[in-house]
Structure 1
Amino acid sequence: MPVASALLFLLAGCSKQQTLQAIFQKSTPHQAYARQLAQAGLDRRPAGRRWLAAAAQALRDSLVVPLPFAETGYFRAELPAAASYRYAVRAGEQVHVSLTLAPGANAHVFLDAFEAAPGQVPTPLASADTVVLDFRYRAETTGQHLLRVQPELLAAGRYTLRVAREPSLSVFPVRGRNDAAAGSFWGADRDGGTRRHEGIDIFAPRGTPALAAADGFITRTGETPLGGRVVWLADAAHGEHLYYAHLDKQLVSPGQRVRAGDTLGLVGNTGNARTTAPHLHFGIYRSGQGAVDPLPFVQRGATAPAPPAGPDRRGEFVRLRLATALRPTTAKVTSRRMETLSKQMPLLVLGQQGLVLRVQTPAGDIGYVAALAVIEAGRAPLRRLLLPAIVELRDQPTATAPARVALAARTAVAVLGETNGFSLLRGPRGELGWATI
């Protein structure tokens, strides 16, 4: 029975009781699929073991990317794998993840975002599968997050992945303004350095409406020497209090419920802002934590770059023009730990980001190389030859890897690359695999 048919048969054979257990257990789509593999006994078979190992490895080894980023990628049916990306986040911003499958792609894909604290097991934050490959989640703390992208077994096809920052508050707190109007930021010195600025100042003409940035209720209004006329809005959904100061006029009362976008007051310069131009001092305070920087909550994210133009090399093997290093990030960095790749080594292109390619070495290592630094192995083979004897083409450059096909003696082949005594061969009908010759 073919591997694909066996997989479908075994997964379909799970009992109704097992299926109901899966429904009522709280788990991500990825975890539910892994449980199906175990129930079908596929976790003890080579393909299932490789799939689970790839999922675990992705949480340990991730590529560093800046936000926003966009990458076009490729899934190989014969080689279970998972891509993972690490990126910096700031408390209060929202992360938008979306994946689009190319027409005809045969892939059920799992997206999982994790908090990645140093020395700790990654903590799940948000997940999605093929039903909805688009989700948003809010970063509660500043740090590092990790996104894992993994298709089901035997999946194949191309995709485009985008990850970008967004403001988590649905409404900017001053009508007609955005973060470009902020003229004073978190942490700036105040009163000769005796205190720090615990918010941002958003400048606007006197009388401009100050808006509720979230649903909630008014906990306090009043007038203080520093803040002048102030309004406190409780965002109960997140356990935070939004602080509006220097208002010319307050238009709400304590206990009043408001919706995002409602007018709370009018911009002014009351309190210790009497000598400055009218502006809204906007602050955010968290229970048990105090003031936090409000800018990530309201700052517009940069537009994600467009998918790369030029030749689509996803799924192709390439070689380097010159020996160079495999980079762990799209940035141009140098490190003694970086693996130097030879010109003869074939690299499988898994994805493209702008002017760089995400590639996989024959040993399974993944990293980035410059798109201009490679040549297409299929169009520029190392050499051509006639096989002296029958040769089996294997999935990987190891003696124990499964054989795909056998080529007869005197078959004309192209050598696309070499590593560790193995050659990547392409037969006359497009047969592709590793062999010793």
Structure 2
Amino acid sequence: MWYIIYLGNMVRFLLYNNPMKYASYLIVGLLLLGISSCTEIQKAADVITNPSAKEVYARNFEKNDSLFLLWETRFEEAKKDSLQVLLPYAESGIFSEKILFPYSYDLQLREGERLVVEIEKPLDSTQVFIDLFKKSQDTVAPLKLIKSSEIDIPHLSEAITEYGWYKVIIQSGIGERIPFKLKIYTQPTYGFPVSGAGNKNIQSFWADPRDGGSRSHEGVDIFAKRGTPVVAITDGRVSSTGDRGLGGKQVWLRDGLFGKTMYYAHLDSIATTTGKRVKQGDTLGFVGNTGNARTTAPHLHFGIYKTASGAINPLPYIKRTDLPEISWENTMIKGSVKRNTTLQKAPISGFETIATLKKGDTVAVLGKHEAWLHVRTKDLIKGFIQERFVNELPSN
């Protein structure tokens, strides 16, 4: 395996410097390294091209394989689905060898959040593919692929840099039948700026009116006892410290050369110096009420600034989120509707209706979220229906 890694690094260097000149050298190098099989050559090429897990999986099938073509078609169809979920979201279901339909969800994400998609399954050998797309405001524009899961890794994590609607598509390998648990949630990109505090300590938010409405709040206020340490939310460099203006005693922390700048204000005292390199969790100062906060309880005014756009809402960057728990398990594969009811776009009562189901209609059950079933109708429409309106049918 060492020579494959060596070859990949050599190929990168040669192609970068002069791809035409060194093409023949690369061929000779392959022979000299003793790479005699197509598999080993492919591994060497993968070091350079870094294919997605789905691209590697596709090599197991002929291009005209009817089942594989249907599997790919279902994936393309899933891009057009419009099911929505609120985060955190959890679902329990069964990947069925008879159902090639992917699981697809639209979700709204904010800059500063880190999206996490996890699949828990009993067999490590079972292939599961996760793709994250960014949706455009133009409904006819194609989806933009943001990230795909890696080979043999049934989870995906991505920091969100732009507010908007996104789509997650999850698809199992062909012929797989295994139970699974799905979790989709967000985590903040950064740590929390006040030691020992959390969401409950945030009592004033972005855009709240200030000075009788003449200006708006460009940050969040985190209340804590005087002297509570305020800490670096990421590794960085202290770009400025001082006692001036509305912010009183303050610290500015820079996240990388072209990154964001964090603003810590109203400090009781400062515990760092300009130019100092700090690690996440290092103490920068202590909670107070200096500056224009002298008449309020001790708190940290915390803001984030971008060079191009100025102040941005810091809440998504630091807000702690609950991890989803699954206290239910779905084993149903097929069901019959008990009475006339509606198929909904999201597992929320009163949400947008996709279709009307009649008593006796059969549905394929993809999964379960709390008291809702994620189903597909005979017309290939996917949506959510309350579990109490469905009787289980034999799957054969």
- Please confirm whether the aligned pair reaches a TM-score higher than 0.5, indicating the same fold: yes
Q: What's 1:320 paired with?
A: 337
Q: How many residues are treated as equivalent by the alignment?
A: 358
Equivalent residues in 2 for 1:377-388 (5 A)? 377-378=393-394
Query: Which entry has the higher C-alpha Rg, 1 or 2?
Result: 1
CA contact (8 A) 1:68 1:305 kept: no
The secondary structure found in structure 1 opposite 2:292 is helix
Higher relative contact order (CA 8 A, sep 6+): 2
1:292 Cα offset (Å): 0.9
Equivalent residues in 2 for 1:18-417 (5 A)? 18-34=42-58, 36=59, 40-42=61-63, 44-101=64-121, 103=122, 107-119=126-138, 120-129=141-150, 131-169=152-190, 171-236=191-256, 239-308=259-328, 312-315=330-333, 317-333=334-350, 338-378=354-394
Cα distance in 2 for residues equivalent to 1:123 and 1:28: 15
Cα distance in 2 for residues equivalent to 1:87 and 1:141: 13
CA contact (8 A) 1:96 1:164 kept: yes
The secondary structure found in structure 2 opposite 1:31 is helix
Deviations 1:268-313 (A, max 9, x none): 111111111111110001121111111111111134142425xx33
Cα distance in 2 for residues equivalent to 1:334 and 1:228: 48
The 1:230–1:353 alpha-carbon spacing in structure 2 relative to 1, beyond 3 Å, is same
The 1:24–1:62 alpha-carbon spacing in structure 2 relative to 1, beyond 3 Å, is farther
Question: Which residue type is aligned with residue 31 of structure 1?
Answer: E
1:22 Cα offset (Å): 4.0
Cα distance in 2 for residues equivalent to 1:270 and 1:15: 66
Cα distance in 2 for residues equivalent to 1:188 and 1:359: 42
TM-score scaled to structure 2, two decimals? 0.84
Supply the RMSD in Å over aligned alpha carbons. 2.2
Question: Which residue type is aligned with residue 167 of structure 1?
Answer: P
Counting aligned pairs with the same residue, the percent is 34
Q: Which has more helix, going by share of residues?
A: 2
1:28 Cα offset (Å): 2.5
The 1:196–1:306 alpha-carbon spacing in structure 2 relative to 1, beyond 3 Å, is same
CA contact (8 A) 1:47 1:80 kept: no
Cα distance in 1 for residues equivalent to 2:316 and 2:339: 42
1:51 Cα offset (Å): 1.0
Cα distance in 2 for residues equivalent to 1:242 and 1:197: 15
Q: What's 2:11 paired with?
A: none
Cα distance in 2 for residues equivalent to 1:237 and 1:151: 41
CA contact (8 A) 1:307 1:353 kept: no
CA contact (8 A) 2:338 2:360 kept: no
Deviations 1:318-374 (A, max 9, x none): 111112222121112365x63222323321111011101111122322111110001
Unaligned runs of 5+ in 2: 1-36
CA contact (8 A) 2:92 2:326 kept: no
CA contact (8 A) 1:230 1:244 kept: yes
CA contact (8 A) 2:195 2:230 kept: yes
